[in-house]
Amino acid sequence: MIEVAIMGHGVVGSGVAEIITTHKRKLFSSIGEEIHIKHILDLREFPDSPLCDRFTKSFEDIINDVEVRVVAEVMGGINPAYDYTKRLLKAGKSVVTSNKELVASKGAELLQIAKENNANFLFEASVGGGIPIIRPLSQCLVANEVKEIAGILNGTTNFILTKMFDEGMDFDAALKLAQDLGFAERNPEADVEGHDACRKICILASLAFGKHVYPDNIHTEGITKITLSDVKYAASNDCVIKLIGDVKVLNDGKMDIFVAPMLINKKSQLANIDNEFNGIMVRGDCTGDVVFYGKGAGSMPTASAVVADIVDCCKHLKARKYLFWADSTNDNIIPYNKSETSVYLRFCAEDPESALIKVKDLFGDIRVLSIENKAENEFAVITPKLSIDKISDCLSKLNNDGVTVLSKIRIGDL
């Protein structure tokens, strides 16, 4: 019997306890021993839980229990998860986590501590919920030079954008529905402003390129400014809008990494990933494009990945899994204003016809979009590929000339 503990009994933690309980025989056949939940840490009371005798409010019960070999950290947030995880790893216990904030901000340090203490620190559930992506990237695709990773990494925003496209639902109503369905973070700002997706693309970039990418200085845009007009213009161009976390390696070896909404062609595999589903495309030099698809949020899908990591730790109690990246200072990342892209622009001007001529003069070879029943003073175009610097420069000149930009969204080549 292998004794484990679970820290947190929320959406994910209760799912972990449920899977370990209901899939006992399946897990036994994989490990050859039974997984037994010895402690569940939570400050709340769960008197009706069938595991009510395992609950504790004290972390000391877990850290001081020499029988506990593997701990699932599913509390979320940095504190006290970071402190607890460090102490557990230093005590030689393996830790698995679904906590993307923790991995994105402290991953290099925690992996180093795990290495020094011959313990494992695994985090399959931190990106893509139930979708296997950490293991495939670190093992199955390891023979490739990864050229680009682009993903729909946040279920809440994908759900909102799908509702806006398919049902013409407005942003607030769609967010409320996502919250009611349990996809959203406690603070939905992390979803809708792109921070959750940013943490996830940073984890994938760190893993693929071997150096920690910290989220702090990564350009991160959310979806709060997208309107139903943008949705119509995108559709008129055979595109959908998706919130994409993207990292690509440029010729000089530096990374272009950001999170932003993008217009992507309806034929792209990522365009057809809807609702709370996530999709991650990895461009390998040997494999070409490989796409991972599944439920990126929710109790049971995420818990499935946490339990898989518990099983992996149970099978490797004496050995380390080779999952590692080095610390870094983000010096291998280009500034966002040097990033190059075509963009969709929606403008408003008193005289749209002469404004369009000014836009053509500045941007060159643009494509004009048209929709039915467009607002009287509005027009929208797609620019050629230019640097963000150059685009900003043109937009400020137009603004000085009375042509106001209402929307600016990258065009994705995915």
For the annotated catalytic residues, the residue numbers are: 200
Q: Report the residue number, 185 or 289, with the smaller CB distance to ligand HSE.
A: 185
User: Counting contacts by CB under 6 A, is residue 297 touching ligand HSE?
Assistant: yes
Judged by CB under 6 A, which stretch of 56-64, 149-157, 323-331, 335-343 contacts ligand HSE? 149-157
User: Counting contacts by CB under 6 A, is residue 130 touching ligand HSE?
Assistant: no
Of 165, 183, 258, 277, the one binding ligand HSE (CB under 6 A) is 183
Please report, as a single letter, which amino acid is at residue 25.
Answer: R
Q: Report the residue number, 194 or 412, with the smaller CB distance to ligand HSE.
A: 194
User: Counting contacts by CB under 6 A, is residue 312 touching ligand HSE?
Assistant: no
Element of type H or E holding 62: helix 60-63
Which of 72, 107, 100, 78 is CA-nearest to residue 303? 72
SS3 category, 379: strand
Q: Report the residue number, 127 or 314, with the smaller CB distance to ligand HSE.
A: 127
Tokens 């504790």 label which residue? 56
Of 261, 294, 296, 412, the one binding ligand HSE (CB under 6 A) is 296
User: Counting contacts by CB under 6 A, is residue 73 touching ligand HSE?
Assistant: no
User: Counting contacts by CB under 6 A, is residue 154 touching ligand HSE?
Assistant: yes
Beta strands 121-122 and 146-152, pairing class: unpaired
CB 224 within 8 A of CB 261: no
- Region of residue 164 (phi > 0: left; psi between -120 and 50: alpha; otherwise: beta): alpha
User: Counting contacts by CB under 6 A, is residue 174 touching ligand HSE?
Assistant: no
Q: Give the contact letters, 206-245, x = binds to ligand HSE (CB under 6 A), - = no.
A: ----------------------------------------
Residue 347 to residue 222: CA distance in whole angstroms = 20
Judged by CB under 6 A, which stretch of 154-162, 304-312, 350-358, 385-393 contacts ligand HSE? 154-162
| DSSP of 247-297 | EEE-TTS-EEEEEEEEEEETTSGGGG--TTEEEEEEEETTTEEEEEEEE-S
User: Counting contacts by CB under 6 A, is residue 196 touching ligand HSE?
Assistant: yes
CB 93 within 8 A of CB 73: no
The distance in angstroms from the start CA to the end CA of the chain is 47
User: Counting contacts by CB under 6 A, is residue 309 touching ligand HSE?
Assistant: no
Q: Please give the residue ranges that form the binding site for ligand HSE (CB under 6 A).
A: 129, 154-156, 183-185, 191, 196, 296-297
